């Protein structure tokens, strides 16, 4: 069974229902954030939102969702590249 490791957390690849990157943006209410797509940030945001961080999210089922949060997009991109190498090896 093929495994996927993210930040020292190991997943069975076949158990992953969703694996996606997103930007965490501040909602304007206290410290609350929400997920937005990278594409939206690149094409529509145009400085209209405050970015709180970047995340990689793994959903196993409705109750098991893991979040890996990064300060920069470069850190997120390095993790995505690492995951790609694991999947394609």
- Residue 9 predicted with pLDDT over 90: yes
Per-residue model confidence as pLDDT tens digits over 32-89: 999 999 999 999 888 789 999 999 999 998 889 999 999 999 999 999 999 999 999 8
Q: How many domains does the chain have?
A: 1
Listed residue (66, 51, 49, 50) closest to 12, CA to CA: 66
Return the pLDDT at 65. 95
For β-strands 33-36 and 51-59, DSSP reports them as unpaired
pTM above threshold 0.75 = yes
| Residues spanned by the domain of 18 | 3-88
Compute CA distances 34 → 37, 45, 46, whole Å: 10, 14, 17
Separation CA 74–CA 80 (nearest Å): 10
Return the pLDDT at 44. 87
- Residue 11 predicted with pLDDT over 90: yes
Contacts of 75 (CB under 8 A, 6+ apart): 54
């Amino acid at each position: 069974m093929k495994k996927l490791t993210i930040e020292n957390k190991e997943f069975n690849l076949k158990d992953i229902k969703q694996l996606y990157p997103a930007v965490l943006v501040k909602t304007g209410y206290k410290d609350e954030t929400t997920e937005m797509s990278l594409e939206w940030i690149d094409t529509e945001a145009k400085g209209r939102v405050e970015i709180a961080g970047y995340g990689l999210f793994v959903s196993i089922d409705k109750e098991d969702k893991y979040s890996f949060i990064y300060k920069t997009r470069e850190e997120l991109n390095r993790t995505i590249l690492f995951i790609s190498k694991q999947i394609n090896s």
